[in-house]
Structure 1
């Protein structure tokens, strides 16, 4: 008898595998580029011209692998663990939620306003603000407000602990952007050096006369500064004994937030929870 050859469909199997990989990459690109809080199954299906069943199967697989995650509002986004494995920044939502206990503690302990800021190109971006109970609040910055890096306590903390090879360039890039502020590049450079020596920022009358800001950097599990916690008040409330109290509170708050980022706390809990946080106001 002649030799019997068994025909296989290896080329078809390889083709199917490549198509699956291609779809998975397309899904990741789409979700990764979407604004927070992410995308729903229906929107993903339409955008990629996939049947909902196929899209759902793909999302389920990526979720089981820890690549994406879904929040309470059924929005999918790239998981923070997956982002961190590639060295990409944590999402603003993750940072804001991890900061909530710290911001609440700061505003309750000091009775003054507390802020969470994140770096955004040449600016610091305020993403959360918790107002204290003292009758006079230093509300110089709203949620969504931007300042050039180095202008303000939180903004200076982001700049002072930026990577050494980037800091000088970032400071120089601010030179033409400071005409509307009370400080210039020389003042920011000097403030950076003082902050690094102290371990925190302390800026009496730096941005607004009669107001003082204090800030502390927050690091992710890799040690990179990803945010800053800060407080602001009329100057007499952040001097003397209250200055020392604010330093201790900021250190505790930063440690708490870093612990939550390290331990995986501060995951997405949905827009409903966020809307109920009266401290996050614009």
Structure 2
């Protein structure tokens, strides 16, 4: 039994190491050890095993690690039949072509939102959205959409979490969520990034459950509040059609 516990613990630690790369492209041994709270010698042994199996690669020049090709090989076997990042890509491209701005797709994962797909604007001055980026749930149009359409229990858990920013007025925030549910979309102006504006709408699957947020973002000099109001009906209709494609 003790050997089994040690084996399971090693697996958990190895997975913790891989999860460190959700926020960084490359990391040094010390950085990884600090993030997961383990001694460097333990992390080094685990990294050596992961490197042997192709899950990480060590750059000899920088002595930093990055994800290896084995991760990519595994990702190619993900089911494409129910992956919204794949299913909704053509529809997102149509939205980009119609509105001319960057289009992103977000899922809520724990206390963050995760950008699982993005279609970049073709304009010279544009907002570049990186797929895989994790962003806080308390700020931004997409974050507020994902929280607004979450269950009451999930909202309470988020707002009462010790990590939830104390400077956000709870009453005012809840009023915003109510308005978002009523009108069906959220807007943001330079909430997270200076010079950036966005509008986001919920995507409900074929069972009526909101599973994602669709966002259009760009520079504030193009996306004024009037422009976003004009975009809202089109974006909600596009999100409705996308939802019919998701199980």
| TM-score, length-scaled by structure 1 | 0.54
Which residue, out of 111, 115, 139, partners 2:100? 111
Highest CA radius of gyration, 1 or 2? 1
Deviations 1:7-61 (A, max 9, x none): xxxxxxxxxxxxxxxxxxxxxxxxxxxxxxxxxxxxxxxxxxxxxxxxxxxxxxx
Residue pair 1:124, 1:155 contacting (<8 A) in 2 also: yes
Deviations 1:182-210 (A, max 9, x none): x7354643432331232101112222233
Measured at CA, do residues 240 and 199 of structure 1 come closer, stay the same or move farther in structure 2, by a change above 3 Å?
same
Residue pair 1:195, 1:202 contacting (<8 A) in 2 also: no
Unaligned 5+ runs, structure 1: 1-72, 81-90, 263-282
Q: Does 1:143 align with 2:131?
A: yes
Which residue, out of 187, 201, 221, partners 2:206? 221
Measured at CA, do residues 188 and 145 of structure 1 come closer, stay the same or move farther in structure 2, by a change above 3 Å?
farther
| Distance in 1 between residues matched to 2:91 and 2:199, nearest whole Å | 15
| Distance in 2 between residues matched to 1:207 and 1:193, nearest whole Å | 21
How many residues align structurally?
175
Shift of 1:240: 5.2
Measured at CA, do residues 243 and 230 of structure 1 come closer, stay the same or move farther in structure 2, by a change above 3 Å?
same
| Distance in 1 between residues matched to 2:197 and 2:213, nearest whole Å | 16
The equivalent of 1:192 in structure 2 is 177
Which residue, out of 170, 174, 178, partners 2:158? 170
Deviations 1:45-99 (A, max 9, x none): xxxxxxxxxxxxxxxxxxxxxxxxxxxx6x486x97xxxxxxxxxx6xx111222
The equivalent of 1:211 in structure 2 is 196
For residues 1-282 of structure 1, the aligned pairs below 5 Å read: 75=77, 94-139=83-128, 141-173=129-161, 176-178=163-165, 184=168, 186=170, 188-239=173-224, 241-261=226-246
RMSD: 3.0
List structure 1 runs of 4+ shifted beyond 6 angstroms. none
Unaligned 5+ runs, structure 2: 1-75
Asked which structure has the greater RCO (Cα within 8 Å, sep 6+), the reply is 1
